[in-house]
Structures are given as structure tokens and as C-alpha cells.
Amino acid sequence: MNPSLKQGVKMIKRVLISVITIVFIHATNLGELVNPVKKLTSADITDISVSEAGTIFIATQGAGIVKSTDGGITFQRLDGSTNNLTLFNKNFSSIYARSNNIFAGGGANQFGLSPGLMVSTDGGNSFDQVGLDGEYISEVLRGPQGELYASTKGSGIHLYENNSLTSFSNGLSTENISSMYIDETDGDPFVAGGDSGLFKYDYSNLEWIQTALNLPIIAITTGDNDTIYIATKNQIYETTDYINFNVLPDLNLGGNFTFTSIAYSSPNLYVTCSPTGSENGFPLVNRLNINSGTWEDDTDGLPANFGYPQDIVISENSKLLATTANFYSGSLTGEWSYPVTELDAGQYTSSSYNPFNGYFYAGGAQGELKVSNNINETWFKNDDNLKVGVSIKGFIHGSNGTIVLQSGAINFQQNIGDAFERRQNGLSDVFFSGLAYNPFSDILVVSGSSGLSYSNDWGLQWQPTNYSYYTDEIIYSNLRNEFYAASLDKIVRSDGNGQNFDTFVDNVSPTSLAIKDVLSDWKLGLVDYNDFFEIDSAGNKKSLGYDGLGGFGQYLETAEWSIAFNTWIGTRENKIFSYNSLGLSWDQVAELDEYVFTLKTYTVEFKKGASTNDIETLLIGTYGGGMYSNAAFTSVDNNLKSNVNNYHLDQNYPNPFNPLTTINYSIPEAGLVTIKVYDILGKEITTLVNEEKSVGNYRVEFNGGDLSSGVYFYRMYAGSFTETMKFVLMK
């Protein structure tokens, strides 16, 4: 394991699904469509541990802890804590499992966030936070008496015993410890490696003694005959007496690299590494035959984009590999493999992204529900106790669970994998068509054949509103704190309580609603069979001229907004159009083989090097052809370009903000772009951008979590262009 190389957390924004944050792009080209979306990819996996019963426990950055009881075919995310601290979306860098005892160490990200040391004594059903809050815990191990040792990147080693946490660093010359090993039978040897070398614990003097190996240590494992193997940056040593250290044969990869983890199964030493330069053509997983001294490439069976290795573990006759992209397993000398469960072609009527657990949801016309935490990878079933043969219409996600709306049922699930429970007490309706949620007052409103009903207890009990006529889609505006519902010939509106609806716009035939929920340009979008209208807050209706596309005869089915610039429309004639508000024109951007039923755009955070960007993903549900996505997970830095004629720096949004805000900017010619943040006295706070950019539209996110409330400025430099904007951090 190499905590020093572990990537930062993908910070999943804690927003409710009714708040859809979209990347600002001027483009009208969808890019390559991928179908079917498939395969399961975990979050950044950082560590693996296998219990005596064969249960695999995995620590992740940003997705908590997951476990598998079937060798990695299916996974269950662990939640629940007796300290009221959910594990979902937390960052973990280390994990250790023995019997029913699970020890998990938090992994700090760039903002110093870490859940600390978590302990479970019931197999992971519940966890207690026992200390080290905010610490980067690089390794957790259990001693021969059941005691727990935790090494950290900043405060040395700690002992957890009898519900008490104490320092165990006497004699250490460094507080940055990256790896440990202890013999669980009698505790000897007990060794630890850090940035100043290898240490061995002296039980007679109760202190750590530095050995002769004084190079920074990456990872430690044990082999036959009490041999210890130690990985430094790009060299491996072995010792049995901690006085003499033998250098093992060099791993000549033809490029710059550093080891990330090691594991042993006689006679092979398995090692993973990561490139430190621009080279990317050498194998990142290798094995060394200790007897012959020869190295072999051990990447057979891994896909080209398997990610950077974080940890390798030997479990009986199998090898397990955690990478920044996925989890893999294989026989000790055979090829790697991993389960591939494809999202089959079919009728997909709804989709959603859950920011609380990082999973995408795809709902089918026959009640099938599949979930994935990477839309281009494996999807797995998550529809226990949903109504079979009944279409899934929509989703609402909150911190306490997910509600799945079917045309004939309302269902609740607390955690992925749980059986759904019905939540429709008080409802006489037999057909539901839409569901919306107000997160500020905790109000749900459901639409259907008997009108509109509301619930203020997450669906446990429903009450009728004053509107008892057929309603189709319903949507909630966070900005205006209002519900909008499409009825037969009108749109009706209610305040945030969702109990009393009146007419907002009449003389329309709404089939789908969309919303542009931004302060500067709030709009409600209305699909009216063969036209698309923008409706302002006063109820004024404006056609965007879709009917003037030259008589294409496209029957509009659904619409989605990509904030500020793009409106996406799907038709029953299998086509997708986009309206570019800069050019005031409609463009056909895709033609599929199936009729387009649903469009949803989602923003997921993407980390590349030291920078974090948001990625917009458009999911397209079809009748008979499964789910499509646009060329997914393309960084905003690889912009889809429109005609950019001038330099421009936008006002951040939101403003005021706490603590996250987004800044958009445009450059008409390639060159160096710099954006810096200053306080009110002109002191530089941070540099957000400082790199060569090509022509295009860009965005960058600023996090003021470490700053106090107040007025700040951000300034952009590009060529001869300079622009300064003011923004307000309000905590």
C-alpha cells in the first residue's frame, strides 16, 4: 500500500437530486454515444483486507467501505454508525478485517477531512469512531492480544486497546509512517516504515529502534522463513535479522516509477507500481520469482484502462488488486479477471444520479432497476420487491434513502441491496406519473390519475392536495421554492408546502417539463407535442421556434436543460436536438435506432492530477435499445468548443457561496491563462488556474472551506486581457 500516492477524494457534492448542477458549455455536439453503458467500477480503491471467512473488505476514497462475500462478484456498501457518522462518501485509506472485527482508517483529502479510526465488532454492520479524527491513517493492524495499531501520516503510531487510544511512537524519529507489519502470533517481529527508514519494535525497552535501512519506506510484507520484504521508491530489500539488508534484482521497466504495494505467495513476490514521469508503456503489476530472481509482467487479463494500482493482496489461491479504477481478482499465476454485468438493451424509462452514495440508477419499463457507480462500467440489479412489469417513473434521493416511483407503486430503500418497502398509505391512486421533493421543508408531492398528493414524512403517510385532476410530470424549483405540475391543458403551481395548487399557465398541452433553476435567468421549460416553450416567472410563454425546423414532423417526447446555453430535446423519431442560445438555432446532434424516452444530465466530480473538474454526462433512455450516454467522463479541460470570439470572465455562481462556487471563463485564442484569488487587502489566497489553454469555454471550482466569511476577489490574466470580479463567502 502506498498512502503517499493515493489520489485525493472525489468529493461528491451533498445536494439533493432536485438540484441539478450542469457544466456551462456552449457546445451542441454530443460527441460519441456509448451503448450499452456497462461494467462496475468502484470509487478510488485504496486498500483491501480479507477475513478468515473469505469476506473481502475494501476501503475507498469517497465511497466509504464495501464488502463482498462471493469473491468480488457482487458488493455491498457498508453504512451505519453508533456515532451518527455515516460511512457513505467518506474517505478511507486503510482497512483490516479479522473475524467480526473490522478496523478502518480514514484518508484525508486536500482539505484535511478524514473520519478518523473506525472500529466494528459485528462484521461491519455498525462502526464506532474511536479517535484520530482528521488524521490520514496509512495502515491498521491487529496485534496478538487483539489490540489495534494505527499508523498515520503525521502523528506516528497509535495503540487502541480496552476502548482507549494512546500514542505508540516512543523512539520513532518520524511521525510519517506509511506501512507496518506485525506477527499476529506473538507480536515479533513488529516493524514500521516511514519517510526516515525502517524501524523495529524492541519489546525489552518498549521503544522503536531504527534499522540500517534509512530510505523512505513504501510498503512491507513477509515471506518464508521469517523474511521481511521492504519496498522503497524503486528498490526492494529483504532481511531476516534487520541488520543486513539484501537488494533484490532491479525491476527494469524502461521508465520512471515508484512502487505502491507488495505481497508474497511462495515463491513469488507481487509488486505494483505507478509511473512518475510521462512514460506509460510499461507494466504496472509484476511478480518476482524469489528462487530464480526473474521478473515477469503480471498484467495479463487487465484492461488497458485498469487504473493505477493502490494495493495488492494474496488470499489463499487468489490475488486481489485494487486500483484507482476498479477491483480485480485472479489466480496466483494466471490472468486477472473481474465480473462484467452488462446493462442489457431494453426499455429504460428513467435515470438518476444519487449524490449521497455516488451511484447512477437506470429504471426500466418492466420494473427492472440497475445501479452503477460508473455509467460506462458494470451495472447490477437493485430491484428486490419492486413491482414486476410496472414502469419506473422517477427517483428522489436523500440522506436517509431513496424513493423509487413506479407507475403503480411508491417504494423506499435505505441502502443499495435492501428490499424495497411500499410507502403509499393514504393514496387512492392506482397510476402515478411524477414525483418531486422540497429538501428545505421535507415535502414530497406525487402526481397521477387522481391529481396531486403530498407527504411530510418521506412517504410514510400521504394527504390529498386541493388539485384532484389528472397530472403528469411534476418538478420543484429550489430557487423559487415552488412546485410545478403538468396537467391536461395547463401547468399548476404551489408554494413549497405543496398543498394548494393554482393555475400558472393555461392553454397548453404539456408532455414534459424542464427547469433552468438559476438566479440570473430562471425559466420553466415546456414540451408541447411539437414545440418547446420557455416560461418566465410571471408565466409569460415564449416559443424557441422548434416548430420552424422545416417540417421535420418530430413528435417531442422529453427535454432537459444544460444550464444557460443548451436545451436538449428527444423525439419519438429517435433523434436528439440541441438549442444553442448563443446562435439561436436548433441542431440535430444524434440519431439513434430507438425512440428517445428520457434525457437526464448529471454532474459528477472528476479528479485529474491536482485539479478537480465537473463532468457533464447525458443519459439517454430509449424504448428497446437500452441506455446511452454521451462520450462519458471527459474533463471540462477537453472542452467541446463553440465559437468563442472574446475573452470573458463570468460572475461566479452561486454568489454569495458556502463553501463551493463555480467560475466560468472563455478564451478566443490559445495561450497561458491564470486565475488567482485575493482577499480584500489584496493578499493572494490561491491560484486556481495557471496553464496553457486552447480556444474554448472553461470552468473552475473554488472551495472556501478554509477561509472566514467575507469579500474576496478573483482575477483572470490571459494575453493582454485582465478582469477582476468580486465574490462573497458567507458561512
Q: Name the least confident of 259-263, 350-354, 626-630.
A: 626-630
Whether 298 has a pLDDT exceeding 60, the answer reads: yes
CA 588 to CA 576: how far, in whole Å? Answer: 6
We find that the CATH architecture of domain 648-729 is: Sandwich (2.60)
pTM: 0.45
DSSP state string for 201-230: EETTTTEEEE-S--SPP-EEEE-GGG-EEE
Mean pLDDT highest for which of 12-16, 327-331, 586-590? 327-331
Tell me the backbone φ, ψ of residue 75, rounded to 5 degrees: -130, 150
CA 121 to CA 142: how far, in whole Å? Answer: 13
Q: How confident is the model at residue 342 (pLDDT cuts 50, 70, 90)?
A: very low
Looking at per-residue pLDDT, the higher value among 357 and 556 belongs to 357
Cell of 221: 510484507
Q: What is the pLDDT of residues 155-185, one digit of tens each?
A: 999 999 888 999 999 999 999 999 999 987 7
Q: What is the pLDDT of residues 571-586, one digit of tens each?
A: 656 666 666 555 456 6
Whether 683 has a pLDDT exceeding 60, the answer reads: yes
What percent of the chain lies above the pLDDT cut of 70?
A: 69
Looking at per-residue pLDDT, the higher value among 405 and 588 belongs to 405
Whether 675 has a pLDDT exceeding 70, the answer reads: yes
Whether 603 has a pLDDT exceeding 80, the answer reads: no
- The pLDDT score that the predictor gives to residue 320 is 79
Buried b (16+ CB within 10 A) or exposed e, 464-495: bbebeeebbbbbbbbebebbbbbbeebbbbbe
- The pLDDT score that the predictor gives to residue 631 is 35
What percent of the chain lies above the pLDDT cut of 90?
A: 23
Looking at per-residue pLDDT, the higher value among 280 and 95 belongs to 95
Whether 561 has a pLDDT exceeding 50, the answer reads: yes
Q: Which CATH class is domain 394-408+415-604?
A: mainly beta
Domains in the chain: boundaries: 3-14+45-337, 394-408+415-604, 648-729
Whether 350 has a pLDDT exceeding 80, the answer reads: no
Q: What is the pLDDT of residues 181-197, one digit of tens each?
A: 998 778 888 999 999 99
CA 498 to CA 454: how far, in whole Å? Answer: 6
**β-sheet with 463-464: strand ranges across:** 432-438, 443-448, 451-455, 463-464
Whether 110 has a pLDDT exceeding 60, the answer reads: no
Whether 402 has a pLDDT exceeding 90, the answer reads: yes
CA 325 to CA 422: how far, in whole Å? Answer: 36
Q: What is the pLDDT of residues 436-449, one digit of tens each?
A: 999 888 899 999 88
Q: Which of 554, 559, 579 is nearest to 569 (CA)?
A: 559
Looking at per-residue pLDDT, the higher value among 546 and 127 belongs to 127
Q: How confident is the model at residue 422 (pLDDT cuts 50, 70, 90)?
A: very high
- The pLDDT score that the predictor gives to residue 6 is 25
Q: Which residues contact 609 (CB under 8 A, 6 or more apart)?
A: none
Mean pLDDT, residues 543-570 taken together: 53
Looking at per-residue pLDDT, the higher value among 511 and 44 belongs to 511
Looking at per-residue pLDDT, the higher value among 553 and 398 belongs to 398
Amino acid at 302: L
CA 351 to CA 398: how far, in whole Å? Answer: 16
Mean pLDDT, residues 86-107 taken together: 79
Q: How confident is the model at residue 411 (pLDDT cuts 50, 70, 90)?
A: very high
Whether 408 has a pLDDT exceeding 60, the answer reads: yes
CATH 2.130.10.10 fits 3-14+45-337, yes or no: yes
Mean pLDDT, residues 586-596 taken together: 60
Whether 502 has a pLDDT exceeding 90, the answer reads: yes
Cα angle: 106, vertex 108, 111; to 5 degrees: 145
Looking at per-residue pLDDT, the higher value among 561 and 286 belongs to 286
DSSP state string for 77-123: EE--BTTS---TT-BEEEEEEETTEEEEEE---TT-----EEEESST
CA 175 to CA 443: how far, in whole Å? Answer: 50
Cell of 127: 462502526
- The pLDDT score that the predictor gives to residue 16 is 21
- Intrachain domains 3-14+45-337 and 648-729 with the same fold: no
Q: Which residues contact 393 (CB under 8 A, 6 or more apart)?
A: 349, 350, 363, 405, 406, 407, 432, 433, 434, 435
- The pLDDT score that the predictor gives to residue 519 is 63
- The pLDDT score that the predictor gives to residue 156 is 94
Residue with cell 415535502: 443
Whether 632 has a pLDDT exceeding 70, the answer reads: no
